[in-house]
A and B are shown apart, each in its own frame.
Chain A
Protein backbone atom coordinates (compact mmCIF):
# COMPACT_ATOMS: atom_id res chain seq x y z
CA UNK A 1 0.00 0.00 0.00
CA UNK A 2 2.90 2.33 0.90
CA UNK A 3 4.46 1.76 -2.51
CA UNK A 4 1.17 2.58 -4.19
CA UNK A 5 0.92 5.96 -2.46
CA UNK A 6 4.55 6.88 -3.15
CA UNK A 7 4.05 5.96 -6.83
CA UNK A 8 0.89 8.06 -6.80
CA UNK A 9 2.95 11.10 -5.88
CA UNK A 10 5.84 10.16 -8.12
CA UNK A 11 4.00 9.29 -11.35
CA UNK A 12 1.80 11.95 -12.88
CA UNK A 13 -0.30 9.47 -14.91
CA UNK A 14 -1.14 7.56 -11.72
CA UNK A 15 -2.15 10.76 -9.97
CA UNK A 16 -4.43 11.65 -12.89
CA UNK A 17 -5.93 8.14 -12.65
CA UNK A 18 -6.50 8.73 -8.93
CA UNK A 19 -8.42 11.96 -9.62
CA UNK A 20 -10.33 10.37 -12.52
CA UNK A 21 -11.45 7.60 -10.15
CA UNK A 22 -12.84 10.21 -7.76
CA UNK A 23 -14.88 11.93 -10.47
CA UNK A 24 -16.11 8.71 -12.09
CA UNK A 25 -17.03 7.34 -8.64
CA UNK A 26 -19.12 10.42 -7.85
CA UNK A 27 -20.91 10.76 -11.18
CA UNK A 28 -21.65 7.09 -11.72
CA UNK A 29 -22.69 6.72 -8.07
CA UNK A 30 -25.09 9.66 -8.42
CA UNK A 31 -26.64 8.52 -11.70
CA UNK A 32 -26.80 4.79 -11.07
CA UNK A 33 -29.81 4.88 -8.66
CA UNK A 34 -31.80 6.90 -11.20
CA UNK A 35 -30.91 4.59 -14.09
CA UNK A 36 -31.71 1.47 -12.07
CA UNK A 37 -34.94 2.80 -10.54
CA UNK A 38 -36.22 4.19 -13.81
CA UNK A 39 -35.20 0.93 -15.54
CA UNK A 40 -33.25 2.62 -18.36
CA UNK A 41 -30.19 0.38 -18.01
CA UNK A 42 -30.32 -0.64 -21.65
CA UNK A 43 -30.32 2.97 -22.81
CA UNK A 44 -27.03 3.51 -20.98
CA UNK A 45 -25.65 0.37 -22.64
CA UNK A 46 -26.77 1.66 -26.02
CA UNK A 47 -25.33 5.11 -25.36
CA UNK A 48 -21.95 3.53 -24.61
CA UNK A 49 -22.04 1.71 -27.94
CA UNK A 50 -23.22 4.84 -29.75
CA UNK A 51 -20.06 6.66 -28.64
CA UNK A 52 -18.12 4.09 -30.70
CA UNK A 53 -19.85 5.44 -33.82
CA UNK A 54 -19.05 9.00 -32.71
CA UNK A 55 -15.38 8.31 -32.11
CA UNK A 56 -15.03 6.42 -35.42
CA UNK A 57 -16.66 9.31 -37.27
CA UNK A 58 -14.29 11.76 -35.57
CA UNK A 59 -11.34 9.67 -36.83
CA UNK A 60 -12.84 9.62 -40.32
CA UNK A 61 -13.19 13.40 -40.56
CA UNK A 62 -10.04 14.02 -38.49
CA UNK A 63 -11.55 16.09 -35.69
CA UNK A 64 -11.42 15.88 -31.90
CA UNK A 65 -13.26 12.77 -30.66
CA UNK A 66 -14.87 14.26 -27.54
CA UNK A 67 -17.55 16.57 -29.04
CA UNK A 68 -18.51 14.04 -31.74
CA UNK A 69 -18.78 11.25 -29.14
CA UNK A 70 -20.99 13.48 -26.96
CA UNK A 71 -23.17 14.29 -29.97
CA UNK A 72 -23.54 10.60 -30.92
CA UNK A 73 -24.40 9.66 -27.31
CA UNK A 74 -27.05 12.39 -27.03
CA UNK A 75 -28.45 11.50 -30.45
CA UNK A 76 -28.83 7.87 -29.40
CA UNK A 77 -30.43 8.57 -26.00
CA UNK A 78 -32.83 11.22 -27.28
CA UNK A 79 -33.63 9.20 -30.42
CA UNK A 80 -34.61 6.10 -28.43
CA UNK A 81 -36.63 8.19 -26.04
CA UNK A 82 -38.35 10.25 -28.72
CA UNK A 83 -39.62 7.18 -30.59
CA UNK A 84 -40.55 5.12 -27.52
CA UNK A 85 -42.39 7.92 -25.68
CA UNK A 86 -44.82 8.13 -28.62
CA UNK A 87 -45.80 4.61 -27.46
CA UNK A 88 -45.77 3.12 -30.95
CA UNK A 89 -42.65 1.09 -30.16
CA UNK A 90 -41.22 0.10 -26.78
CA UNK A 91 -37.97 1.47 -25.37
CA UNK A 92 -36.35 -1.96 -25.75
CA UNK A 93 -37.56 -2.17 -29.38
CA UNK A 94 -35.88 1.13 -30.16
CA UNK A 95 -32.64 0.22 -28.36
CA UNK A 96 -32.60 -3.06 -30.30
CA UNK A 97 -32.91 -1.08 -33.53
CA UNK A 98 -30.58 1.83 -32.71
CA UNK A 99 -27.73 -0.09 -31.04
CA UNK A 100 -26.76 -2.23 -34.06
CA UNK A 101 -27.35 0.79 -36.31
CA UNK A 102 -24.80 2.87 -34.40
CA UNK A 103 -22.37 -0.06 -34.17
CA UNK A 104 -22.69 -0.64 -37.92
CA UNK A 105 -22.01 3.05 -38.53
CA UNK A 106 -18.95 2.83 -36.26
CA UNK A 107 -17.54 -0.14 -38.17
CA UNK A 108 -18.30 1.56 -41.50
CA UNK A 109 -16.48 4.75 -40.42
CA UNK A 110 -13.46 2.75 -39.24
CA UNK A 111 -13.31 0.88 -42.58
CA UNK A 112 -13.58 4.17 -44.51
CA UNK A 113 -10.83 5.87 -42.50
CA UNK A 114 -7.71 6.16 -44.64
CA UNK A 115 -4.21 5.85 -43.22
CA UNK A 116 -3.57 5.34 -39.51
CA UNK A 117 -6.55 4.11 -37.45
CA UNK A 118 -5.90 4.38 -33.73
CA UNK A 119 -6.23 1.22 -31.63
CA UNK A 120 -9.93 0.76 -30.98
CA UNK A 121 -9.27 -1.86 -28.28
CA UNK A 122 -8.33 0.88 -25.83
CA UNK A 123 -11.62 2.58 -26.58
CA UNK A 124 -13.65 -0.61 -26.24
CA UNK A 125 -12.08 -1.68 -22.93
CA UNK A 126 -10.70 1.60 -21.60
CA UNK A 127 -7.50 2.43 -19.77
CA UNK A 128 -7.53 4.80 -16.84
CA UNK A 129 -3.74 5.11 -17.00
CA UNK A 130 -4.08 6.91 -20.35
CA UNK A 131 -6.35 9.63 -18.99
CA UNK A 132 -5.19 13.08 -20.08
CA UNK A 133 -5.65 16.39 -18.30
CA UNK A 134 -8.30 17.35 -20.88
CA UNK A 135 -10.20 14.16 -20.08
CA UNK A 136 -9.93 15.01 -16.41
CA UNK A 137 -11.32 18.52 -16.87
CA UNK A 138 -14.25 17.09 -18.85
CA UNK A 139 -14.86 14.51 -16.10
CA UNK A 140 -14.81 17.24 -13.45
CA UNK A 141 -17.33 19.40 -15.33
CA UNK A 142 -19.66 16.41 -15.89
CA UNK A 143 -19.33 15.31 -12.24
CA UNK A 144 -20.26 18.82 -11.06
CA UNK A 145 -23.16 19.00 -13.55
CA UNK A 146 -24.55 15.60 -12.49
CA UNK A 147 -24.19 16.45 -8.77
CA UNK A 148 -25.94 19.78 -9.37
CA UNK A 149 -28.74 18.08 -11.30
CA UNK A 150 -29.38 15.52 -8.54
CA UNK A 151 -29.16 18.12 -5.74
CA UNK A 152 -31.38 20.68 -7.45
CA UNK A 153 -34.08 18.29 -8.71
CA UNK A 154 -33.88 15.61 -6.04
CA UNK A 155 -37.61 15.67 -5.25
CA UNK A 156 -38.62 15.63 -8.91
CA UNK A 157 -36.16 12.82 -9.72
CA UNK A 158 -37.48 10.80 -6.78
CA UNK A 159 -41.10 11.08 -7.95
CA UNK A 160 -40.13 10.45 -11.60
CA UNK A 161 -38.16 7.33 -10.65
CA UNK A 162 -40.87 5.95 -8.36
CA UNK A 163 -43.98 6.48 -10.44
CA UNK A 164 -43.57 8.49 -13.64
CA UNK A 165 -47.23 8.31 -14.69
CA UNK A 166 -48.62 9.62 -11.40
CA UNK A 167 -45.80 12.14 -11.00
CA UNK A 168 -46.95 13.65 -14.28
CA UNK A 169 -50.55 13.67 -13.05
CA UNK A 170 -49.54 15.61 -9.92
CA UNK A 171 -47.65 18.24 -11.92
CA UNK A 172 -44.04 17.02 -11.78
CA UNK A 173 -42.28 18.04 -15.05
CA UNK A 174 -41.34 14.44 -15.88
CA UNK A 175 -40.44 15.00 -19.54
CA UNK A 176 -37.99 17.76 -18.52
CA UNK A 177 -36.45 15.51 -15.84
CA UNK A 178 -36.35 12.55 -18.23
CA UNK A 179 -34.44 14.41 -20.94
CA UNK A 180 -32.09 16.01 -18.40
CA UNK A 181 -31.40 12.51 -17.04
CA UNK A 182 -30.60 11.31 -20.57
CA UNK A 183 -28.32 14.29 -21.14
CA UNK A 184 -26.44 13.58 -17.88
CA UNK A 185 -26.30 9.90 -18.80
CA UNK A 186 -24.87 10.63 -22.26
CA UNK A 187 -22.22 13.00 -20.89
CA UNK A 188 -21.31 10.54 -18.11
CA UNK A 189 -20.87 7.66 -20.52
CA UNK A 190 -18.59 9.68 -22.78
CA UNK A 191 -16.63 10.99 -19.79
CA UNK A 192 -16.19 7.52 -18.26
CA UNK A 193 -15.43 5.63 -21.46
CA UNK A 194 -11.70 6.38 -21.26
CA UNK A 195 -11.59 4.56 -17.92
CA UNK A 196 -13.85 1.59 -18.44
CA UNK A 197 -14.37 1.47 -22.18
CA UNK A 198 -17.59 0.96 -24.11
CA UNK A 199 -17.95 -2.62 -22.90
CA UNK A 200 -17.41 -2.07 -19.17
CA UNK A 201 -18.82 1.41 -18.59
CA UNK A 202 -22.27 0.02 -17.89
CA UNK A 203 -20.96 -1.75 -14.80
CA UNK A 204 -20.29 1.69 -13.27
CA UNK A 205 -23.71 3.02 -14.20
CA UNK A 206 -25.75 0.02 -13.07
CA UNK A 207 -24.04 -2.06 -10.37
CA UNK A 208 -23.67 0.57 -7.57
CA UNK A 209 -27.38 1.49 -7.77
CA UNK A 210 -28.54 -2.13 -7.69
CA UNK A 211 -26.23 -2.91 -4.75
CA UNK A 212 -27.27 0.21 -2.82
CA UNK A 213 -30.96 -0.64 -3.24
CA UNK A 214 -30.47 -3.80 -1.18
CA UNK A 215 -29.87 -1.78 1.97
CA UNK A 216 -31.28 1.71 1.35
CA UNK A 217 -34.46 2.73 3.13
CA UNK A 218 -34.88 5.96 1.20
CA UNK A 219 -33.86 7.31 -2.19
CA UNK A 220 -31.43 9.72 -0.50
CA UNK A 221 -29.74 6.79 1.24
CA UNK A 222 -29.65 4.89 -2.05
CA UNK A 223 -27.71 7.73 -3.70
CA UNK A 224 -25.28 8.11 -0.76
CA UNK A 225 -24.59 4.34 -0.59
CA UNK A 226 -24.25 4.15 -4.36
CA UNK A 227 -21.63 6.95 -4.41
CA UNK A 228 -19.68 5.29 -1.56
CA UNK A 229 -19.78 1.87 -3.24
CA UNK A 230 -18.74 3.38 -6.54
CA UNK A 231 -15.85 5.34 -4.99
CA UNK A 232 -14.62 2.29 -3.10
CA UNK A 233 -14.75 0.17 -6.27
CA UNK A 234 -12.83 2.80 -8.23
CA UNK A 235 -10.04 3.14 -5.65
CA UNK A 236 -9.80 -0.49 -4.63
CA UNK A 237 -9.94 -1.49 -8.31
CA UNK A 238 -7.18 0.98 -9.13
CA UNK A 239 -5.04 -0.40 -6.28
CA UNK A 240 -5.73 -4.02 -7.34
CA UNK A 241 -4.81 -3.20 -10.92
CA UNK A 242 -1.56 -1.65 -9.68
CA UNK A 243 -0.75 -4.63 -7.45
CA UNK A 244 -1.69 -7.34 -9.94
CA UNK A 245 -0.43 -5.45 -12.99
CA UNK A 246 -3.90 -5.87 -14.51
CA UNK A 247 -6.01 -3.36 -16.49
CA UNK A 248 -7.59 -1.15 -13.76
CA UNK A 249 -10.95 -0.98 -15.61
CA UNK A 250 -11.35 -4.75 -15.21
CA UNK A 251 -10.34 -4.81 -11.52
CA UNK A 252 -12.82 -1.99 -10.82
CA UNK A 253 -15.60 -4.02 -12.45
CA UNK A 254 -14.57 -7.09 -10.39
CA UNK A 255 -14.75 -4.98 -7.23
CA UNK A 256 -18.19 -3.70 -8.18
CA UNK A 257 -19.34 -7.27 -8.72
CA UNK A 258 -17.79 -8.32 -5.40
CA UNK A 259 -19.76 -5.58 -3.61
CA UNK A 260 -22.94 -6.68 -5.36
CA UNK A 261 -22.39 -10.31 -4.35
CA UNK A 262 -21.66 -9.38 -0.74
CA UNK A 263 -24.78 -7.25 -0.36
CA UNK A 264 -26.94 -9.68 -2.32
CA UNK A 265 -26.03 -12.59 -0.07
CA UNK A 266 -26.46 -10.56 3.12
CA UNK A 267 -29.73 -8.94 2.04
CA UNK A 268 -32.58 -9.73 4.45
CA UNK A 269 -35.19 -11.77 2.59
CA UNK A 270 -37.89 -11.60 5.20
CA UNK A 271 -40.29 -8.76 5.72
CA UNK A 272 -39.01 -6.53 8.52
CA UNK A 273 -41.42 -6.00 11.39
CA UNK A 274 -43.43 -2.87 10.68
CA UNK A 275 -44.85 -0.94 13.66
CA UNK A 276 -47.83 -2.74 15.18
CA UNK A 277 -51.19 -1.29 14.23
Chain B
Protein backbone atom coordinates (compact mmCIF):
# COMPACT_ATOMS: atom_id res chain seq x y z
CA UNK B 1 0.00 0.00 0.00
CA UNK B 2 1.31 3.42 -0.94
CA UNK B 3 1.97 5.86 1.91
CA UNK B 4 0.54 9.40 1.87
CA UNK B 5 2.50 11.71 -0.43
CA UNK B 6 5.01 14.00 1.24
CA UNK B 7 4.56 16.70 -1.41
CA UNK B 8 1.49 17.42 -3.50
CA UNK B 9 1.60 19.93 -6.34
CA UNK B 10 -1.77 20.56 -7.93
CA UNK B 11 -2.55 22.58 -11.07
CA UNK B 12 0.32 24.98 -10.48
CA UNK B 13 0.66 27.68 -13.14
CA UNK B 14 2.90 30.71 -13.21
CA UNK B 15 3.24 33.57 -15.65
CA UNK B 16 5.63 36.46 -15.79
CA UNK B 17 5.09 39.61 -17.89
CA UNK B 18 2.30 37.89 -19.80
CA UNK B 19 4.37 34.79 -20.65
CA UNK B 20 3.48 31.33 -19.40
CA UNK B 21 6.40 29.91 -17.44
CA UNK B 22 4.53 26.93 -15.99
CA UNK B 23 1.14 25.59 -16.87
CA UNK B 24 -1.05 23.15 -14.92
CA UNK B 25 1.70 21.23 -13.14
CA UNK B 26 0.33 18.35 -11.06
CA UNK B 27 2.35 15.65 -9.34
CA UNK B 28 2.99 14.13 -5.95
CA UNK B 29 6.09 12.80 -4.24
CA UNK B 30 6.13 9.79 -1.91
CA UNK B 31 8.11 9.47 1.29
CA UNK B 32 11.61 8.24 0.40
CA UNK B 33 11.18 8.93 -3.34
CA UNK B 34 14.20 10.20 -5.29
CA UNK B 35 12.80 12.22 -8.19
CA UNK B 36 14.60 14.09 -10.95
CA UNK B 37 13.21 16.86 -13.14
CA UNK B 38 14.70 17.20 -16.61
CA UNK B 39 13.93 19.56 -19.44
CA UNK B 40 15.58 22.12 -21.74
CA UNK B 41 16.69 25.61 -20.73
CA UNK B 42 13.72 27.85 -20.02
CA UNK B 43 11.43 24.89 -19.31
CA UNK B 44 10.54 26.27 -15.88
CA UNK B 45 12.45 23.70 -13.80
CA UNK B 46 14.09 26.13 -11.39
CA UNK B 47 10.87 28.19 -11.22
CA UNK B 48 8.96 25.10 -10.13
CA UNK B 49 11.49 24.48 -7.35
CA UNK B 50 11.29 28.12 -6.27
CA UNK B 51 7.51 27.82 -6.03
CA UNK B 52 7.81 24.67 -3.91
CA UNK B 53 10.34 26.22 -1.49
CA UNK B 54 8.24 29.38 -1.22
CA UNK B 55 10.55 31.83 -2.97
CA UNK B 56 7.87 32.58 -5.58
CA UNK B 57 4.47 33.34 -4.10
CA UNK B 58 2.36 34.70 -6.94
CA UNK B 59 1.30 31.51 -8.68
CA UNK B 60 -2.00 29.75 -9.14
CA UNK B 61 -2.73 26.21 -7.95
CA UNK B 62 -1.72 24.60 -4.68
CA UNK B 63 1.45 23.20 -3.15
CA UNK B 64 0.95 21.04 -0.06
CA UNK B 65 3.89 20.00 2.04
CA UNK B 66 4.24 19.32 5.72
CA UNK B 67 7.68 19.16 7.22
CA UNK B 68 10.99 20.78 6.45
CA UNK B 69 12.54 21.46 3.08
CA UNK B 70 16.31 21.54 2.73
CA UNK B 71 17.25 23.53 -0.35
CA UNK B 72 20.45 23.63 -2.38
CA UNK B 73 20.02 26.50 -4.86
CA UNK B 74 22.00 27.14 -8.03
CA UNK B 75 25.56 28.30 -7.49
CA UNK B 76 24.88 31.82 -8.79
CA UNK B 77 23.71 32.76 -5.27
CA UNK B 78 27.21 32.22 -3.91
CA UNK B 79 29.15 35.29 -2.75
CA UNK B 80 32.67 34.25 -3.66
CA UNK B 81 34.50 36.97 -1.78
CA UNK B 82 32.63 36.85 1.52
CA UNK B 83 34.92 35.77 4.38
CA UNK B 84 33.01 32.97 6.10
CA UNK B 85 34.25 29.63 7.38
CA UNK B 86 32.76 26.37 6.14
CA UNK B 87 31.39 25.45 9.58
CA UNK B 88 29.65 28.83 9.82
CA UNK B 89 27.88 28.21 6.51
CA UNK B 90 26.65 24.85 7.81
CA UNK B 91 25.49 26.55 11.04
CA UNK B 92 22.98 28.53 8.96
CA UNK B 93 21.08 25.24 8.58
CA UNK B 94 20.90 24.99 12.40
CA UNK B 95 19.69 28.59 12.87
CA UNK B 96 16.01 27.79 13.39
CA UNK B 97 16.97 25.51 16.28
CA UNK B 98 18.63 28.42 18.13
CA UNK B 99 16.77 31.47 16.88
CA UNK B 100 17.41 35.12 17.56
CA UNK B 101 19.45 36.26 20.64
CA UNK B 102 20.80 32.74 21.26
CA UNK B 103 24.34 31.73 20.43
CA UNK B 104 25.36 28.42 18.92
CA UNK B 105 26.54 25.93 21.52
CA UNK B 106 29.68 23.78 21.34
CA UNK B 107 27.37 20.83 20.47
CA UNK B 108 26.05 22.81 17.49
CA UNK B 109 29.58 23.45 16.24
CA UNK B 110 30.45 19.77 16.72
CA UNK B 111 27.40 18.85 14.67
CA UNK B 112 28.52 21.22 11.91
CA UNK B 113 31.93 19.57 11.89
CA UNK B 114 30.36 16.08 11.83
CA UNK B 115 28.18 17.06 8.88
CA UNK B 116 31.17 18.39 6.98
CA UNK B 117 32.94 15.08 7.65
CA UNK B 118 29.82 13.26 6.49
CA UNK B 119 29.98 15.01 3.11
CA UNK B 120 33.73 14.43 2.88
CA UNK B 121 35.14 17.89 3.60
CA UNK B 122 35.64 17.73 7.37
CA UNK B 123 39.23 18.97 7.10
CA UNK B 124 37.99 22.21 5.50
CA UNK B 125 35.78 23.08 8.48
CA UNK B 126 37.86 26.08 9.59
CA UNK B 127 38.68 27.28 6.07
CA UNK B 128 37.03 30.32 4.44
CA UNK B 129 34.83 29.19 1.55
CA UNK B 130 36.40 31.75 -0.81
CA UNK B 131 38.77 29.24 -2.37
CA UNK B 132 36.53 26.17 -2.42
CA UNK B 133 36.31 24.27 -5.71
CA UNK B 134 32.94 23.70 -7.36
CA UNK B 135 32.67 20.18 -5.93
CA UNK B 136 33.69 21.24 -2.41
CA UNK B 137 31.19 24.07 -2.51
CA UNK B 138 28.34 21.78 -3.53
CA UNK B 139 29.20 19.40 -0.69
CA UNK B 140 29.18 22.35 1.68
CA UNK B 141 25.73 23.37 0.47
CA UNK B 142 24.54 19.78 0.93
CA UNK B 143 25.90 19.78 4.51
CA UNK B 144 24.00 23.03 5.22
CA UNK B 145 20.78 21.59 3.81
CA UNK B 146 21.17 18.34 5.80
CA UNK B 147 21.85 20.32 8.99
CA UNK B 148 18.26 21.53 8.74
CA UNK B 149 17.09 17.88 9.17
CA UNK B 150 14.86 18.12 6.11
CA UNK B 151 12.04 15.73 5.24
CA UNK B 152 12.50 16.71 1.60
CA UNK B 153 15.78 17.77 0.03
CA UNK B 154 15.50 19.97 -3.07
CA UNK B 155 18.52 20.58 -5.28
CA UNK B 156 18.73 22.92 -8.27
CA UNK B 157 21.39 21.75 -10.74
CA UNK B 158 23.76 20.52 -8.03
CA UNK B 159 26.28 19.30 -10.61
CA UNK B 160 26.75 22.70 -12.31
CA UNK B 161 30.44 23.59 -12.44
CA UNK B 162 31.52 20.23 -11.02
CA UNK B 163 33.78 17.81 -12.91
CA UNK B 164 32.61 14.30 -13.92
CA UNK B 165 34.19 12.53 -10.94
CA UNK B 166 32.81 15.14 -8.59
CA UNK B 167 29.31 14.72 -10.06
CA UNK B 168 29.34 10.94 -9.62
CA UNK B 169 30.55 11.06 -6.02
CA UNK B 170 28.07 13.83 -5.17
CA UNK B 171 25.17 11.75 -6.45
CA UNK B 172 26.48 8.75 -4.54
CA UNK B 173 26.56 10.82 -1.37
CA UNK B 174 23.02 11.98 -2.00
CA UNK B 175 21.78 8.43 -2.56
CA UNK B 176 23.49 7.27 0.66
CA UNK B 177 21.92 10.02 2.74
CA UNK B 178 18.50 9.38 1.36
CA UNK B 179 18.84 5.61 1.95
CA UNK B 180 20.02 6.06 5.55
CA UNK B 181 17.38 8.63 6.47
CA UNK B 182 14.51 7.44 4.28
CA UNK B 183 13.94 11.01 3.15
CA UNK B 184 12.74 12.29 -0.21
CA UNK B 185 14.89 14.07 -2.77
CA UNK B 186 13.74 16.25 -5.66
CA UNK B 187 16.37 17.61 -8.01
CA UNK B 188 16.66 19.48 -11.27
CA UNK B 189 19.49 18.61 -13.60
CA UNK B 190 20.77 18.98 -17.13
CA UNK B 191 22.75 15.75 -16.88
CA UNK B 192 20.17 13.27 -18.16
CA UNK B 193 22.49 10.26 -17.88
CA UNK B 194 23.22 10.86 -14.20
CA UNK B 195 19.59 11.59 -13.36
CA UNK B 196 18.36 8.42 -15.06
CA UNK B 197 20.94 6.39 -13.15
CA UNK B 198 20.42 7.97 -9.74
CA UNK B 199 16.70 8.73 -9.51
CA UNK B 200 13.70 6.42 -8.93
CA UNK B 201 11.32 8.59 -10.89
CA UNK B 202 11.75 11.16 -13.66
CA UNK B 203 9.64 14.16 -14.53
CA UNK B 204 9.97 15.55 -18.05
CA UNK B 205 9.12 19.25 -17.95
CA UNK B 206 8.78 21.90 -20.60
CA UNK B 207 6.37 24.49 -19.20
CA UNK B 208 3.91 21.63 -18.60
CA UNK B 209 4.63 18.19 -17.20
CA UNK B 210 5.04 15.71 -20.08
CA UNK B 211 5.69 12.62 -17.96
CA UNK B 212 6.28 11.44 -14.40
CA UNK B 213 7.33 7.81 -14.38
CA UNK B 214 9.91 5.28 -13.17
CA UNK B 215 13.38 6.08 -14.44
CA UNK B 216 13.67 2.59 -15.97
CA UNK B 217 10.64 3.17 -18.18
CA UNK B 218 11.61 6.58 -19.60
CA UNK B 219 11.74 6.26 -23.37
CA UNK B 220 13.38 8.34 -26.07
CA UNK B 221 9.87 9.52 -27.01
CA UNK B 222 9.44 10.95 -23.51
CA UNK B 223 12.64 12.91 -23.95
CA UNK B 224 11.75 13.99 -27.47
CA UNK B 225 8.46 15.40 -26.16
CA UNK B 226 10.28 17.96 -24.00
CA UNK B 227 13.51 18.59 -25.87
CA UNK B 228 11.76 18.84 -29.31
CA UNK B 229 14.19 19.96 -32.05
CA UNK B 230 17.23 19.77 -29.74
CA UNK B 231 16.61 16.10 -29.15
CA UNK B 232 18.90 14.78 -31.91
CA UNK B 233 21.82 16.82 -30.60
CA UNK B 234 21.00 15.73 -27.08
CA UNK B 235 20.76 12.04 -27.85
CA UNK B 236 24.22 12.09 -29.47
CA UNK B 237 25.56 13.57 -26.26
CA UNK B 238 23.96 10.91 -24.11
CA UNK B 239 24.99 7.82 -26.03
CA UNK B 240 25.02 5.70 -22.90
CA UNK B 241 21.31 6.41 -22.49
CA UNK B 242 20.54 4.49 -25.68
CA UNK B 243 22.68 1.55 -24.61
CA UNK B 244 21.10 1.27 -21.19
CA UNK B 245 17.53 1.66 -22.31
CA UNK B 246 17.51 -0.32 -25.53
CA UNK B 247 17.74 -3.56 -23.55
Check: A165 CB closer than 8 A to any chain B CB: yes
Residues of B80-122 contacting chain A, CB below 8 A:
81-85, 88-89, 91-93, 95-96, 99-101, 103-104, 120-121
**Given A172-B95, A217-B128, A272-B131; A163-B88 close (CB under 8 Å):** no
Contact assessment for A219 and B83 in the assembled complex, using a CB-CB cutoff below 8 Å: yes
CA gap between A221 and B85 in the complex, in Å: 11
The secondary structure that dominates the B interface is loop
A218 neighbours in B (Cβ, 8 Å): 83-85, 88, 128
A238-277 vs B, CB cutoff 8 Å, 1 = contact: the mask equals 0000000000000000000000000000000001101111
A4 CB-CB contact with B under 8 Å: no
Task: Give the residue among B82, B83, B148 with the most A Cβ atoms within 10 A.
Answer: B83
Q: CA of A155 to CA of B97 in the docked complex: distance in angstroms?
A: 14
Instruction: Find residues 53-84 in chain B having any chain A CB closer than 8 Å to their own CB.
Output: 53-55, 71, 73, 77-79, 81-84
A158 at the interface (CB under 8 A from B): yes
The count of chain A contact residues (Cβ–Cβ below 8 Å) is: 31
Docked pose: A169 CA to B92 CA in angstroms: 10
Residues of A within 8 A of B78 (CB): 163
Chain A hits for B99, CB < 8 A: 171
Q: Within the assembled complex, what's the spacing in Å between the Cα atoms of A276 and B124?
A: 9
Listed in ascending order, the chain B residues whose CB lies under 8 Å from chain A are 53-55, 71, 73, 77-79, 81-85, 88-89, 91-93, 95-96, 99-101, 103-104, 120-121, 123-124, 127-128, 131-132, 144, 148
A: which residues have CB within 8 A of B? Answer: 37, 152-153, 155-156, 158-159, 161-163, 165-167, 169-173, 213, 216-219, 221-222, 271-272, 274-277
